[in-house]
Amino acid sequence: MQIEDRIRALPLWRGELRLARLGGGITNVNYLAEDRLRRAVVRVGDDIPVHGILRFNELAASLAAQAAGISPAVLAHEPGLLVIDFIEGRTMTAEDLRQDDLLDQALDLVIRTHRDLPRFLRGASLTFWVFQVLRDYAATLRDGASRHLDRLPGLMEEARELEAAVGRIEMVFGHNDLLPANFLADAQRMWLVDWDYAGWGSPLFDLGGLAANNGLSDTQEERLLTRYFGGLDRDLMRRYRAMKAAAALRETMWSMVSEIHSELDFDYAAYTAANLHTYGQALDAFRHI
């Protein structure tokens, strides 16, 4: 059965169903679905083992995020399909999230993810330790004869340096993919969506990812950390800088793996180059703290 036929066969629709392919996804295919009662987003995607994406985990996190008031409602699901309520609003950009009022709203959602969402989480869930992700990505790139093989020894040595600097962690349930496009704002509030990589790990990863993916200034980062932890010292800043660099390296190596494994129409080579630049800046900032 074709994807659109599977969507149309879901029992929640009432009356004529209109489907339109949504752009912007770099992991999943998404559709806007509209019947006489509602508008919904249909996320289409199977497990993606090379990226550690297992859909049972995404569903559990999405349901918990709904219950915690962080993410839109899950309307229906079956293997390979996840239907969520459509938010009438706009997708955030990095420029948006550099505005203090919008950044505060985004941080509120991150804090609620870490502190409130686990109260609603049911069943088994994954861990997300970025340094294991990086080790596995490196093996995947070697297996796939990536064009980036010559970079791997240096990148993995840097990853070991960063992991040692992070040290022991507090464990929280994180989103782990805080790209600006995963924040939506309507007339009343902001929402956090797309729980593909959700799992237990360090809060520093989400905080570092939020900063690295949105180009936050040093002042904004200090404000972010002070608000999250209630204070800031040099040791915390050093561990944070290490994790921020690791977050940028993960996005870089995610793109390298996608270059050889993804079939979506997206310029992964350009995305890799942009993230290598972001990673280089983050690594330099860590080493000069």
In a domain, 178, yes or no: yes
In a domain, 137, yes or no: yes
In a domain, 46, yes or no: no
At residue 26 the predicted structure's pLDDT band, cuts being 50, 70 and 90, is low
In a domain, 10, yes or no: no
Sequence-distant (≥ 6) Cβ neighbours of residue 271 within 8 angstroms: 26, 255, 258
User: Which pLDDT tens digit goes with each residue over 136-195?
Assistant: 999 999 999 999 999 999 999 999 999 999 999 999 999 999 999 999 999 999 999 999
Q: State the average pLDDT for the chain.
A: 95
Q: pTM for this one?
A: 0.93
In a domain, 1, yes or no: no
Residue with tokens 């800043």: 237
CATH number of the structural domain spanning residue 243: 3.90.1200.10
In a domain, 8, yes or no: no
In a domain, 202, yes or no: yes
The predicted pLDDT at position 267 comes to 94
Q: Is the pLDDT of residue 28 over 80?
A: no
In a domain, 273, yes or no: yes
User: Which pLDDT tens digit goes with each residue over 90-135?
Assistant: 999 999 999 999 999 999 999 999 999 999 999 999 999 999 999 9
Spatial CA neighbour of 58 closest among 194, 202, 173, 210: 194
Q: Could you list the residue range(s) of the whole structural domain that residue 104 is in?
A: 90-287
Domain count across the chain? 1
